[in-house]
Structure 1
Amino acid sequence: MRVTSRMSTDNAVRHMSESLEQLHKLQEKGASGKNFNYASENPTGASLSLNLRSTLKTSQAYLDTASLTYDWMSASEFALQQLEDLAIRTKNLTLAGLNDTLGADERISALAVEVDAILNEAVDVANTNHKGQYIFSGFQINTAPIELQTYDPADPQYDPSNPGKQHAVYLGDAGVMQRSLGPSQSITMNFTADNEIRPFLDALIDIRDALNNNDTTALRTALGVMETTVDGVDKLRTSNGARQRQVSSATEYLEKTKIELSSLLSQNDDANMAETISLMRNQEITYQAVLEVGSRAISALNLFEYLR
């Protein structure tokens, strides 16, 4: 096959275009810092990046959930610790009230008043609100879980001789809040005030009333009940602490996973700038050489056409 001047020129133009296109790609790569800017340039790499970004997004969502869960549990821990501290103060006052050297006036004017203040403080703690949500109300996060009420006459525990008798009423529900910390890992975030906290408050009411009535027998009984209910509160703290450790462990794992995924994504997406700059300089030299050769070929064709 005879190679004509026109064919040589066409080849020269094609080589110049290809060389320029390659140079432009390297320049884009250098400017963006990415191995590829369009999925069509590297379908396999683009697919891997898409999967890595999706997994990273999911991991971050789990991390956000873990952080919110841990904060909620920290608020629960603080509240439960406060209740235990109030129980210790109440026990000391109760033991003082059982001292036979105290008279009725001392029990009523000093001890009963102080226990009543502790009771009100304990109700406030039971109604702890964390970021606008009541933590011990189950799913009823917009409702304070505890309210002190007098017994309704229709209630079996209503005492006609003591119509003003109070008791703690739970206004929440039994909702259990589950939070996902991973594809196959979930944890219960909350406790309700119904099973352990409410009975503790009722025991405080009984202690206050026994002091007001100067009834040491009832006071001794109420103290025993309170100690039992405090054991229940302590079990909540122990369980909450175990859950916090589980969340911390999950968070540590998720953080490590996030770092590894980010590293893989960077390896897949980010260009080696030193290598890219070197290739770009080499391509510039190549393009200049192709341009020079092509220019001579085109000039020769123009001369040939003129002479013809």
Structure 2
Amino acid sequence: MRITTAMEQQQFLYNLENINTAMQNVQEQLSTGKVLNLPQDDPVAVSKDMDLASEMSQISANLSTISSGLSWMNATQSAMQGMVTQLQQIQSNLLAAMNTSNQSSAGLQGYAETIAQLIQGVYQIADQTVGSRYLFGGQADNVAPTTYLKTSPNGTPQVIPPGAGPQSTPYNPFDDANASPPNVNEIIGNQVSIRVTVTAYDIFLTSPGGGPNLQDTLNDIQTDLQSGNTAGLKQDLTNLQANLNQVVNLNAALGARIQRMTAAQNQLTQYQTNLSNLKGGIEGADMAQVMTQFSTDQVIYEAALQMGAQILLPTLVSYLPS
């Protein structure tokens, strides 16, 4: 077959266009730092890159959930530690009232007033909030845990019996009818959830070993101090110790869940870093190699122009960039 001048010119222009396109692709890699800029660059690699991006997005959502849960749990733990301190002070005052010889009714009344203030402090902690949400409300975090408490004549907060309060009311965490108050569980992974709350029901209305709950114990302490019932105070001290141990155990269990949540956070963070590195390896460009390729393409392009000057009409070559 005879090779004509027109065929040579057509083939030259075709090759020159391919070289120019290749240079543009390499130049785009230099400017973006990525080898995957369009789906057609590498469909298989782009598909893997999209899967990794989706997985990283899910991990980011889980990490955000964990961070929020840990903030809530740490605030709850601090509040519970404050509650433990208040209960220990009640215990110390109660012990002092019992051990003081020839304790007068006025002396017991003084202890009663001191302990009343400490009890009020316990309930104030029970109503502690983060923003507008109550720490110990469980899923009913828009309702103050002591909303359904009333004050008896001796100043002791007491639980309104079930059915005695307003009928059209939201969930009452102090209502004995709510045997299983709803807690908040945060999902931190595939079918993995961790409880992040401690409810007021857990603290005040759960009886350790079948004995009086903390709410009843605090009420009994106030009543026995004001009536001078020293025999009753001895039992109150025993009950308070059991209730205090329960609160301490609740706080310890919360601490264990915080450790588990923190471990999950660390694992997910490391996994996210690994995925990020893998994703970068797929879509990231080797800049040294790209710069070398760009220099090579420039040399080839200039050589092609010089060759074209010999086979194309001078009038055409003169308009091409050098």
TM-score (norm 2): 0.85
Partner of 1:51: 51
Secondary structure at the aligned position of 1:260 is classed as helix
Partner of 1:167: 158
From the superposition, tell whether residues 225 and 9 of structure 1 become closer, same or farther in structure 2 (CA, over 3 Å): same
Distance in 1 separating the partners of 2:232 and 2:262: 45
From the superposition, tell whether residues 164 and 288 of structure 1 become closer, same or farther in structure 2 (CA, over 3 Å): closer
Secondary structure at the aligned position of 1:143 is classed as coil
Mapped contact 2:156–2:222 kept (Cα < 8 A)? no
Partner of 1:100: 101
Partner of 1:188: 195
TM-score (norm 1): 0.88
Q: Relative CO higher for 1 or 2, CA cutoff 8 Å, sep ≥ 6? A: 1
Partner of 1:276: 290
- Aligned residue runs from structure 1 range 130-209, under 5 A: 130-147=130-147, 148-150=149-151, 166-168=157-159, 171-172=172-173, 174-198=181-205, 199-209=213-223
The one of 246, 249, 267 aligned to 1:232: 246
Secondary structure at the aligned position of 1:218 is classed as helix
Q: Determine whether 1:212 maps to 2:226.
A: yes
The letter of the residue matching 1:179 is E
Distance in 2 separating the partners of 1:166 and 1:84: 18
Partner of 1:305: none
Partner of 1:296: 310
Greater Cα offset, 29-38 or 76-85: 76-85
Secondary structure at the aligned position of 1:262 is classed as helix
The letter of the residue matching 1:277 is M
Unaligned runs of 5+ in 2: 161-170, 206-212, 317-322
Partner of 2:30: 30
Mapped contact 2:134–2:144 kept (Cα < 8 A)? yes
Unaligned runs of 5+ in 1: 152-161, 303-308
Partner of 1:306: none
Mapped contact 1:9–1:301 kept (Cα < 8 A)? no
Mapped contact 1:6–1:301 kept (Cα < 8 A)? no
Mapped contact 1:5–1:301 kept (Cα < 8 A)? no
From the superposition, tell whether residues 259 and 165 of structure 1 become closer, same or farther in structure 2 (CA, over 3 Å): closer
Distance in 1 separating the partners of 2:314 and 2:129: 87
Give, in angstroms, the shift of residue 171 of structure 1.
Answer: 2.5
Distance in 1 separating the partners of 2:172 and 2:285: 60
Partner of 1:265: 279
- Give me the CA root mean square deviation: 2.2
Give, in angstroms, the shift of residue 68 of structure 1.
Answer: 1.2
Partner of 1:42: 42
Give, in angstroms, the shift of residue 301 of structure 1.
Answer: 9.4
Secondary structure at the aligned position of 1:146 is classed as coil
Secondary structure at the aligned position of 1:3 is classed as coil
Partner of 2:167: none
1:156-199 Cα distance to aligned partner (Å, 9 max, x none): xxxxxx79874145933611211111113211111211133343
Mapped contact 2:63–2:188 kept (Cα < 8 A)? yes
The letter of the residue matching 2:232 is A
